[in-house]
Chains A and B, each alone.
Chain A
């Protein structure tokens, strides 16, 4: 029962950390107690930054800004309004969190260097405001005489604050561990690993990024608050661009995307300048060389490189993985066959001067395998992308029963139970097979945050159910490998199956598959043939884009042929095989009517 022992081990670790913190100051003396306290504060900031940078994969070169907002909020509330340490703490965190939200919302469309720029700009603006708004912030002088925190009527000494900081750092690490074990953890990593696939399973990637930004900012704010009260004074110098780089170095040096990384990175980076003190003038040069050197030698940070296993996302019940005997899809009760599910009406789309789709209309009906064929460049994949919300059509409409899909984002289309797979399987590479399929179940909602932080018993039960359902789906698609293997370690054919299982986890009414047979060997294609039939028989309509004609002609109930972005023909397989226009389009000659299309 490893699943139940785990939390206790962690609780013991927290208590042990606090006990050590209690005993340590008398051994190491005042100066090092101060340094260790700083290290504890940096652990909190780095854990928050790690959630954003390490787990969610979003850059931030401006975390000193959130740190500063927490520090100034706490310091000013205490000195100007006489508020207590404890009353001000949530407000400091909230101020930082709100600024995180404000900076996240308008920047969600940004990527890479553009997003990095906004975070840099934010950090510099906060620092400049702290200097400029001197009536409030004391300008370059900063805020002085911040009172020491009081607990149960006692004014805390440095040693007392140290214990408090260690306790907070330990509890925050524990809460984050819970969060990462919950569905939320998978959502963060999914956004990092493959944003397109994340949308395809119904994850609102912008919402996920916003949550990561906000939590991350709140933790930086908490760190700033603790820093202000520890030092007793703050000034803008502590919150310059360098500090943002310093925080980032802690995360990367320790091991981005691991829980233990910040626990190691923050203290190391705190004491490194200390160790380099005797080199005086060469200090920063050695510091720079160490950064470059460690990036070479420890590409995934100290923890990530030495303990590869820590890079795996922790799970709530890791001990109980077993196969379900019978595979089920968990599909809705089968709708009566022959009813339209998805209708395309006069869909146009162009890229630059190229008209990729030029007035395409057709309907996919329940209980059918509907194939979409056509020569390369006919617009088949573009059509799937329009259907699933990746490209907005320039004209025309896509409708799900009576409801229009036009204008919806990919995750919204996925939530309306339209699943898809991609030409090259889009998996979350650094996650396990099981976690990939689990993401299919949770796209709609990652669950309540509070419940995730605390790992409620309901959450554990739901996870157990999801896990069973995921294993059943893997059995249904005929996946024979290890569900705990990393997705990017799988052979090609297995990746396809996992992607199909993940799509089925959406309990779709329609699954759109983009060339599922490409690159498969004949035996695998035979299995795929049977699988698609099983999917249809379980009540899910299949829209199949495929070049492999044996497969298409064998299993399709209906076929639409596209050529140059227009619908060339539609009918049952025998009609299509006999259609001279189709044959001409494929063979590029006008008088090829006698050549049978196979």
Chain B
């Protein structure tokens, strides 16, 4: 039980990393990157290729994978989001989904269909805490998320770039007026969102195995927690992610995976019925 809770928290943290990616692009550009799940998968796959096939040390490989995905995010925004937003069209929904499909199948071509394990020192021997066997990596994951949160705080509050990004999220027109390169900020938010997903992929890879299809469901669930927490509320997203991860583990542990999905997504519908803009979202008054 305690073990399920602990590993649920770790899983929730990964959802949170991917979900924050939806949040970042949404606040800066009112668009969502539906290739988030694929970005997570690409992060894990890149890391695995570097570690296993090229023999890089893990930390360096992880770092390189995350940077690679930053570039991926920039390109994705340029090719599959910006042209459509400029036209005022919603086609970015389809185009980011399509990029996800392309990424998944490119990965399958390079990587093969069989899932492979990402070896990690931290996921070899479980340690025992209060009677619960748990991998050190599962304890590291929340620490990483905490570090990301603190890092984000410093970045947003203390650097010009971070403030510019926040200004863009707050008011696009005003940001343009004070000379912020809004296009660059939106591109940057896509890079950041893909990098966060890659962090999640690198972290969860050793625990669940790496395959080209690993990102799909996690990407969807991360979207679900982002919505339930409130797309514009990072703290709400964190809380929703952790709750969702723990709940999933508890239900999945006793009833199996289909029941887990039914409950998980059922709760999403119920929450939105009660709170149309997520648990922590505020209903904003329509401006007329």
- List residues of chain A with CB under 8 Å of any chain B CB: 59, 103, 106-107, 109-111, 113-114, 116-118, 120-122, 124-125, 128-129, 131-132, 196, 241, 245, 248-249, 252, 281-285, 287-289, 291-292, 295-296, 299, 351, 381, 385, 390-391, 422
Across the interface, B94 reaches (CB within 8 A) one of A113, A129, A252, A422, namely A252
Q: For residue B23, give the distance in angstroms from its CB to the closest CB of chain A.
A: 11
CA A295 – CA B273 in complex, angstroms? 33
Q: For residue B112, give the distance in angstroms from its CB to the closest CB of chain A.
A: 11
CA A285 – CA B261 in complex, angstroms? 28
Q: Do B272 and A110 touch (CB < 8 A)?
A: yes
Q: Assess whether B66 is interfacial by the CB under 8 Å rule.
A: no
- Take A121-B268, A295-B94, A390-B288 as given contacts and tell me if A287 and B101 are in contact as well, using a CB distance cutoff of 8 Å: yes
- List residues of chain B with CB under 8 Å of any chain A CB: 26, 32, 79-80, 83-84, 87, 89-91, 93-95, 97-99, 101-102, 104-106, 108-109, 216, 220, 223-224, 227, 231, 256, 258-259, 261-262, 265-266, 268-269, 272-273, 276-278, 285-286, 288
Q: For residue A535, give the distance in angstroms from its CB to the closest CB of chain B.
A: 22
Q: Do B220 and A285 touch (CB < 8 A)?
A: no
Which B residues are CB-close (under 8 A) to A132? 256, 258-259, 262
Which B residues are CB-close (under 8 A) to A295? 84, 91, 94-95, 98
CA A122 – CA B276 in complex, angstroms? 16
List 8 other contacts, CB 8 Å, given A292-B79, A385-B288: A110-B276, A114-B231, A128-B261, A281-B108, A283-B105, A292-B99, A295-B98, A390-B288
Q: For residue B109, give the distance in angstroms from its CB to the closest CB of chain A.
A: 6
Across the interface, B97 reaches (CB within 8 A) one of A131, A245, A282, namely A245
How many contacts between A and B, using CB within 8 angstroms?
Answer: 122
23 contacts between A and B (CB under 8 A): A106-B269, A107-B273, A113-B26, A113-B32, A114-B231, A114-B272, A125-B265, A125-B266, A128-B265, A132-B258, A283-B105, A284-B101, A284-B102, A284-B104, A284-B105, A285-B101, A285-B102, A285-B109, A288-B101, A292-B79, A292-B99, A295-B98, A391-B285
Q: Which 5 A-B pairs have the closest CB atoms?
A: A288-B102, A121-B265, A132-B258, A291-B98, A106-B273
Q: Do A107 and B286 touch (CB < 8 A)?
A: no
Q: For residue A468, give the distance in angstroms from its CB to the closest CB of chain B.
A: 32
Q: Do A196 and B91 touch (CB < 8 A)?
A: no
Which B residues are CB-close (under 8 A) to A59? 90, 93
Q: For residue A380, give the distance in angstroms from its CB to the closest CB of chain B.
A: 13
Across the interface, A117 reaches (CB within 8 A) one of B26, B106, B109, B268, namely B268
Which A residues are CB-close (under 8 A) to B265? 120-122, 124-125, 128
CA A106 – CA B276 in complex, angstroms? 9
Q: For residue B22, give the distance in angstroms from its CB to the closest CB of chain A.
A: 8
CA A426 – CA B109 in complex, angstroms? 51
Which B residues are CB-close (under 8 A) to A249? 94
CA A295 – CA B83 in complex, angstroms? 10
Which B residues are CB-close (under 8 A) to A116? 93
Residue of B nearest to A382 (CB): B288
Q: Do B262 and A285 touch (CB < 8 A)?
A: no
Residue of A nearest to B79 (CB): A292
Which B residues are CB-close (under 8 A) to A391? 285
Q: Do A120 and B99 touch (CB < 8 A)?
A: no
Q: Do B227 and A113 touch (CB < 8 A)?
A: yes
CA A156 – CA B66 in complex, angstroms? 58
Which A residues are CB-close (under 8 A) to B286? 196, 390
Which B residues are CB-close (under 8 A) to A113? 26, 32, 227, 231
Q: Do A117 and B94 touch (CB < 8 A)?
A: no
Q: Do A114 and B277 touch (CB < 8 A)?
A: yes
Which B residues are CB-close (under 8 A) to A281? 105, 108-109
- Take A241-B220, A295-B84, A391-B285 as given contacts and tell me if A114 and B278 are in contact as well, using a CB distance cutoff of 8 Å: yes
Residue of B nearest to A390 (CB): B288
Which B residues are CB-close (under 8 A) to A351? 285
Q: Do B262 and A128 touch (CB < 8 A)?
A: yes
- Take A288-B98, A289-B102 as given contacts and tell me if A114 and B80 are in contact as well, using a CB distance cutoff of 8 Å: no
CA A442 – CA B102 in complex, angstroms? 47
Q: Do B258 and A114 touch (CB < 8 A)?
A: no
Q: Max chain B CB contacts within 10 Å: which of A196, A245, A282? A: A245
